[in-house]
């Protein structure tokens, strides 16, 4: 069932075929304490710390990120749902869609006291006699599910199916999010009940198939209720996070009660079109979990999927580019490589001897020696040559491209790593230079008089033209297998996201998310941490995650990126029991760099192990961590205690499991995390 | 309306007033601003305090903002300036009972460095970095727990 928006990162995983049935939820199947934070699942992200405003797009602040380790997998988001008890429900008018008379498939998600006598009603279209159609509840034998219907609006005798076992006896737990389902086949009278523990394994049949009197379902004109079957009839001790009714078993989704669409007032409109109206009181549900939040605006990280460092990637005439040539956008002369009228035409001016189109970027740092990939689609007009170069030093690298013959005609400067020119069709060529500038600076596309022209060749303009489109500048190691071009518009909030893994951008200045309550790890002295991250700077220590407010606290663990700074920039996983802890520290790994960082620790062994990208980087089995278990502290992401040691970089995901994890499962987890990060 | 990204630095001496104004006008979301110290080196001295991130539009429009671009030689060039609304800030503070003068707010705005740059780009332009502060004191040790893997 699709929930929220899963941004980016999918196309490559499909190509690899590396995705298996593994889900991180399996790491928490035995109620292991921990966290699973997944920025790619926007259904878990909210702009405010109270969870009232969902994150709907990139470049929005994240004030609350829900922990998925406690069963948020399908749909248990914060949302507005009827309060528990009789008289609190949502209803929607009779419609063709909800007047299902044939096979029906009802799926409920939420949490409740499954063992409660009297239970509650998930949904019902069940008015007074003569207006009774169907209902799904567990209001009968304590905890057993029921589905019932009439064919004439009144007669339910022989048409009540009760599950042979209860969800509790099947292993579900009171007040833990789950899914429950009933299907009814009109031709045979067969009713099947199912449960879903939201562990990634999907629906499991609950008990035996029940057979009741077969027949079509009555077409009533009454309302359809959620958390009730008719107005104020049955006590509904439910927290419903989703209810879906399908016309046909596994048929067409006809009704979709999704309270995350509620934004205020007493009504909301479902994705399937029906209007839901609240009767009685509502309540905002926040599922259990170690959610992390930030109440202060500026301290919230930003959901982002930006990789291309420059703006106006298809508008070469703009207010930012300090160009010496004349550019016109969206010309009719030629279509862009993607078939749209979005190409720009650059024309040399005769007024000066400089013929560049400036490509400034504050997103890609102007760091000397930083390996960058600079690319642009170009098509010859009357000018057959262009040059890509880096500004700031006459010694900086450049590469010349022949747009008629599709060749790289010259390179120079310090240091060109690689170049390429690739046929993009219809006379277009994708020109690429990978380089490490001797001095950081901005970049330029230069028009050239000859294919062997010098860097920033000076000559009197001849009014020649070249067509340009789709320029891209990114740090070369920023993701593996990502699309080679990312469109960026006039502002930093306007860019394409498909294929680009989303992340939380922590600014290293004041951003931090942390749990409002403590996370109790006192039942274990073993720990597993898997995170996908990109370290952007080694200038200062950065706490990627930490399990307590201070490194000196008994029973804490953390990952630092970096621990050592400057030219010694690295990664470190650290753990301690009752005495000063042990660390596993990587070799120098300078920023910017993406990595899957895994920590495994065992206080008593002692063991502290750091894995990077699926391979052991450092192991410490000699330094004692003392005794005891891990502690019961607030958990911090992106800083120490929301006050110091702020992480400057990106987080693609964090999984913390208060238990040891066998290597095969750990490798699956790392592969899963890399699918979100594309680090290697 | 969508929030707006800003990097807001104020001289250290102005930080208490800036915090008071933010607390007064910005509501809960503006609590805890300007607590990250900046200085010429990581060891200090503290010369500025900074906050950076998405802030509400009405807040952003009240404060000044300078726009920068780097020229081909790597030099920062000021490309635009918005003065904010210091009069509205003063009136709002007075109405909320904060004792402040228009002159103090004008001075704060004039000395502040507010922009839409990535904070680290702004730091490089300003010639500052984050001053590293000492780690907080440890919390008391948790109560002893039964060791779950003790030998039987």
Q: Does the beta carbon of A509 lie under 8 angstroms from any beta carbon of chain B?
A: yes
B145 touches chain A (CB under 8 A): yes
Give domain status of residue B143, yes or no: no
Is B142 within a domain? Answer: no
Looking at the complex, does the CB of residue A157 fall below 8 Å from at least one CB of chain B?
no
A443 Cβ under 8 Å from any chain B Cβ: no
Q: How far apart are CA A227 and CA A647, in angstroms?
A: 44
**Of the candidates A608, A646, A648, A606, the residue with the CA atom closest to the CA atom of residue A628:** A606
Rounded to an integer, the average pLDDT of A238-243 is 82
Cβ distance B74 to A492 less than 8 Å, yes or no, reads: no
A chain contacts of residue B2, beta-carbon cutoff 8 Å: 59-60, 493
Residue A211 has pLDDT above 90, yes or no: yes
Residue A510 and residue B141: Cβ atoms within 8 Å? Answer: no
What DSSP designation does A633 have? E
Segment 306-345 of chain A within 8 Å of chain B by CB: 320, 322
Element (H, E) at B104: helix B102-111
- A127 vs A153, A255, A437, CA distance in Å? 9, 18, 75
| A646-657: average pLDDT | 97
pLDDT digits (tens, 9 = 90+) for A548-562: 998 889 999 999 999
Residue A544 CB neighbour total at 10 angstroms? 27
Contact A581, A563 (CB under 8 A): no
* Contact (CB<8Å) A507/B74: no
Give me the residues paired with residue A180 across strands. Answer: A108, A195
Q: Which helix (H) or strand (E) holds A242?
A: strand A238-247
DSSP 8-state code for residue A560: E
Rounded average pLDDT over A196-225: 91
- The more confidently predicted of residues A111 and A269 is A269
Cβ atoms of residues A286 and A78 within 8 Å: yes
Measured between alpha carbons, how far is A397 from A435 in angstroms, rounded to an integer?
A: 7
Instruction: Say if CB A502 and CB A7 are below 8 A apart.
Output: yes
The mean pLDDT of A431-442, rounded to a whole number, is 87
Out of B35, B52, B69, name the one closest to residue A360 (CB).
B69
Angle (nearest 5°) at CA A362 between A356 and A368: 80
* Highest-scoring range by mean pLDDT, A70-84, A279-293, A333-347: A333-347
Give the C-alpha separation, A495 to A498, whole Å: 10
CA A358, CA A442: separation in Å to the nearest integer? 7
Q: Could you tell me which chain B residue has the CA closest to the CA of A577?
A: B141
Packing angle, helices B86-95 and B102-111, rounded to 10: 130
Q: Quick check: is B43 in a domain?
A: yes
**Mean pLDDT of all residues in B107-134:** 92
In a domain, B71, yes or no: yes
Q: Cβ B135–A645 below 8 Å, yes or no?
A: yes
pLDDT in tens, A517-531: 899 999 999 999 999
Order the strands of the A407-412 sheet from edge to edge: A356-359, A443-447, A385-390, A398-402, A407-412
B148 found inside a domain: no
Instruction: Give the Cα separation of A340 and A291 in Å (integer).
Output: 44
The answer, for B33 touching chain A at a CB cutoff of 8 Å, is yes
Q: Which two tokens stand for residue A294?
A: 């930030």
Contact A606, A640 (CB under 8 A): no
Do the Cβ atoms of A111 and A239 come closer than 8 Å?
A: yes
Contact (CB, 8 A) for A35 and A67: yes
Nearest to B71 among A59, A322, A540 (CB): A322
For the stretch A138-162, pLDDT in tens is 865 668 999 999 999 999 999 999 9
- The H or E element that residue A670 is part of is helix A663-677
Give per-residue pLDDT as tens, A655-678: 999 999 999 999 999 999 999 999
Q: A507–B30: do the CB atoms touch at under 8 Å? A: no
The model's pLDDT over A396-411, given as tens digits with 9 standing for 90+, comes to: 899 999 999 999 999 9
Best to test chain B binding among A318, A355, A437, A509 (most B CBs inside 10 Å) = A509
Residues A542, A572 contacting (CB under 8 angstroms): no
* Mean pLDDT of the A624-633 span: 94
Chain A residues 595-614 with a CB less than 8 Å from chain B? 604
Q: What is the mean pLDDT of chain A?
A: 88
**Which residue does chain A place closest to B54, by CA atoms?**
A298
Collect all residues of chain A within an 8 Å Cβ-Cβ radius of residue B132.
Answer: 540-541, 644-645
What does the pLDDT average to over A493-516? 96
- The answer to whether A442 faces chain B, any CB pair under 8 Å, is yes
Residue A21 CB coordination number (10 Å): 9
In A, which residues are within 8 Å of B37 by CB distance?
A: none
pLDDT above 50 for A264: yes
Q: How far is CA B82 from CA A491, A662, B78, B114, B119, in A?
A: 17, 57, 12, 10, 19
Give me the residue from B53, B69, B144 closest to A300, CB to CB.
B53
- Closest B-chain CA to A605: B149
Contact B53 A295 (CB under 8 A): no
Q: Evaluate if residue A78 carries a pLDDT over 60.
A: no
What pLDDT does residue A88 have?
75
Output the six-digit token pair for A455: 């860097």
* Cβ A455 vs Cβ A413: under 8 Å: yes
Q: What is the pTM of this model?
A: 0.77
Backbone angles phi, psi at A470, to 5 degrees: 60, 60
By the CB < 8 Å criterion, does A295 face chain B?
Answer: yes
pLDDT > 70: percent of chain A: 89
Interior/surface letters A609-622, b for 16+ CB within 10 angstroms, e for the rest = bbbbebeebbebee
pLDDT of residue B29: 81
Best B50, B77, B78, B118 residue to mutate vs chain A (most A CBs within 10 Å): B118
Residues A54 and A44 sit within 8 Å (Cβ to Cβ)? no
| Domain membership of residue B120 as a residue range | 4-130
Of the ranges A348-352, A536-540, A593-597, which one carries the lowest mean pLDDT score? Answer: A348-352
Residue of A nearest to B32 (CA): A296
Helices B15-25 & B86-95, crossing angle to 10 degrees? 70
Cβ separation A441–B72 shorter than 8 A: yes
* Residues of chain A found within 8 Å of residue B119, distances taken between Cβ atoms: 507-509
Starting from the edge strand earliest in sequence, which strands make up the sheet with A557-560, in order? A45-46, A64-65, A292-293, A513-515, A636-637, A543-546, A557-560, A572-575, A582-585
CB contact A33 to B (< 8 Å)? no
In-domain check, residue B72: yes
A297-306: average pLDDT? 95
HEC states along A487-516? CECCCCCCECCCCCCCEEEEECCCCCEEEC
Give me the pLDDT at residue A15, please: 40
Look at residues A189, A242, A243, A250 and name the one whose alpha carbon lies nearest to residue A215: A189
Secondary structure element (H or E) that encloses residue B49, with its range: strand B48-55
Question: Domains in chain B: how many in total?
Answer: 1
* Percentage with pLDDT > 90 across chain A: 64
Give every CB contact of residue A492 below 8 A, 6+ residues apart in sequence: A59, A306, A311, A363, B5
Nearest CB partner across the interface for B30, out of A297, A322, A541: A297
Which chain A residues are Cβ-neighbours of B56 within 8 angstroms? 297
Average pLDDT value for residue range A357-365: 72
**Between A and B, how many residue pairs show a Cβ–Cβ distance under 8 A?**
170
Closest CA to A505 of A64, A67, A60: A60
d(CA A385, CA A401) in angstroms, rounded, equals 6
Query: Per mean pLDDT, which range of A108-122, A244-258, A341-355, A470-484 is the poorest?
Result: A108-122
The span from the CA of A519 to the CA of A656, in Å, is 11
Residue B104 lies in a domain: yes
Q: DSSP code of B79? A: E
Continuous H helices in A395-529 = none
Mean pLDDT of chain B, nearest integer: 85
Q: Which of A298, A320, A548, A580 to mutate to test the interface with B (most CBs of B within 10 A)?
A: A298
Q: Which of A90-104, A108-122, A146-160, A449-463 has the lowest mean pLDDT?
A: A108-122
For residue A562, whether the previous peptide bond is cis, meaning omega lies within 30 degrees of 0, is: yes
Domain annotation covers residue B62: yes
């Amino acid at each position: 069932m699709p929930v929220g928006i899963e941004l980016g990162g999918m196309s490559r995983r499909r190509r690899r075929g590396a995705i298996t049935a593994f889900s991180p939820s399996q790491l928490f199947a035995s109620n292991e304490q921990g966290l699973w934070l997944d920025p790619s699942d926007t259904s878990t992200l909210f702009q405010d710390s109270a969870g009232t405003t969902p994150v709907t797009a990139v470049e929005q602040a994240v004030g609350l990120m829900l922990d998925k380790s406690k069963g948020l997998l399908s749909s248990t988001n914060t949302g507005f749902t009827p309060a528990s008890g009789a008289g609190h429900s949502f209803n929607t008018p009779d419609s063709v869609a909800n007047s299902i008379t044939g096979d029906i498939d009802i799926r409920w998600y939420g949490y409740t006291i499954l063992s409660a006598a009297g239970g509650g009603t998930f949904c019902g279209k069940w008015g007074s006699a003569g207006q009774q159609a169907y209902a799904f509840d567990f209001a009968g034998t304590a905890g057993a599910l029921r589905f019932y219907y009439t064919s004439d609006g009144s007669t339910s005798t022989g048409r009540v199916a009760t599950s042979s076992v209860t969800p509790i006896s099947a292993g579900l737990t009171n007040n833990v999010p789950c899914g429950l389902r009933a299907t009814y086949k009109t031709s045979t009278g067969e009713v099947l009940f199912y449960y879903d523990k939201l562990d990634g394994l999907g629906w499991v049949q609950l008990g035996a198939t029940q057979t009741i009197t077969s027949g079509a379902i009555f077409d009533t004109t009454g309302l359809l209720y959620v958390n009730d079957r008719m107005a104020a009839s049955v006590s509904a001790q439910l927290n419903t996070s989703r209810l879906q009714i399908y016309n046909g078993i596994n048929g067409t989704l006809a009704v979709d009660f999704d309270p995350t669409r509620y934004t205020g007032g007493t009504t909301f409109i479902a994705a399937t079109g029906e209007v839901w109206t609240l009767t009685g009181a509502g309540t905002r549900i926040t599922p259990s979990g170690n959610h992390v939040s930030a109440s202060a605006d500026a301290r919230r990280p930003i959901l982002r999927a930006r990789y291309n460092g420059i703006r106006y990637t298809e508008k070469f005439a703009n207010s930012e580019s300090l160009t010496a040539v004349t550019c016109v956008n969206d010309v009719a002369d030629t279509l862009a490589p993607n078939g749209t009228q979005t190409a720009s035409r650059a024309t040399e001016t005769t007024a000066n001897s400089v013929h560049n189109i400036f490509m400034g970027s504050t997103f890609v740092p102007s760091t000397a020696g930083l390996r960058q990939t600079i690319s642009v689609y170009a098509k010859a007009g009357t000018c057959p040559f262009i040059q890509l170069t880096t500004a700031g030093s006459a010694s900086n690298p450049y590469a010349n491209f022949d747009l008629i013959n599709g060749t790289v005609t010259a390179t120079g400067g310090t240091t060109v790593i690689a170049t390429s020119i690739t046929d993009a069709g219809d006379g277009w060529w994708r020109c690429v230079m990978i380089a490490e500038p001797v001095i950081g600076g901005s970049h330029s596309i230069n028009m050239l008089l000859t294919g062997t022209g010098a860097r920033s060749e000076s000559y009197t303009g001849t009014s020649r033209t070249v067509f340009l489109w789709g320029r891209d500048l990114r740090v070369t190691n920023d993701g593996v297998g990502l699309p080679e071009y990312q469109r960026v518009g006039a502002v930093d909030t306007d860019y394409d996201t498909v294929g680009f893994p989303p992340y939380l951008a922590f600014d290293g200045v004041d951003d931090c998310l942390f749990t409002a309550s403590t996370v109790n790890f006192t039942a274990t002295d073993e720990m597993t941490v898997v995170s996908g991250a990109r370290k952007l700077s080694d200038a200062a220590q950065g706490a990627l995650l930490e399990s307590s407010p201070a490194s000196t606290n008994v029973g804490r663990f953390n990952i630092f990126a970096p621990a050592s700074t400057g030219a010694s920039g690295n990664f470190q996983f650290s753990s301690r029991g009752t005495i000063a802890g042990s660390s596993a520290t990587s070799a120098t790994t300078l920023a910017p760099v993406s990595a899957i960082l895994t920590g495994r620790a065992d206080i008593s062994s002692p063991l502290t192990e750091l894995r990077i990208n699926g391979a052991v980087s450092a192991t410490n089995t000699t330094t004692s961590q003392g005794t005891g278990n891990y502690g019961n502290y607030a958990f911090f992401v992106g800083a120490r205690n929301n006050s110091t040691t702020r992480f400057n970089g990106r987080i693609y995901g964090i999984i913390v499991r208060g238990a040891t994890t066998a290597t095969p499962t750990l490798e699956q987890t790392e592969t899963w995390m890399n699918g979100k990060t594309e680090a290697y | 309306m969508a929030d707006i990204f800003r990097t807001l630095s104020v001289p250290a001496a102005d930080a208490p007033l800036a915090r008071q104004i933010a607390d007064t006008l910005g509501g809960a979301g503006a609590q805890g601003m300007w607590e990250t110290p900046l200085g010429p080196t990581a060891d200090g001295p503290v010369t500025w305090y900074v906050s950076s991130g998405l802030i509400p539009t009405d807040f952003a429009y009240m404060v000044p903002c300078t726009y920068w671009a780097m020229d081909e030689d790597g030099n920062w060039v000021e490309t635009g300036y918005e003065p904010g609304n210091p009069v509205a800030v003063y009136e709002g503070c007075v109405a909320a009972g904060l004792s402040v003068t228009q002159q103090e707010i004008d001075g704060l705005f004039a000395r502040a460095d507010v922009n839409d740059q990535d904070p680290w780009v702004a730091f490089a332009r300003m010639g500052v970095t984050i001053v590293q502060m000492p780690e907080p004191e440890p919390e008391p040790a948790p109560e002893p727990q039964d060791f779950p893997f003790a030998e039987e």
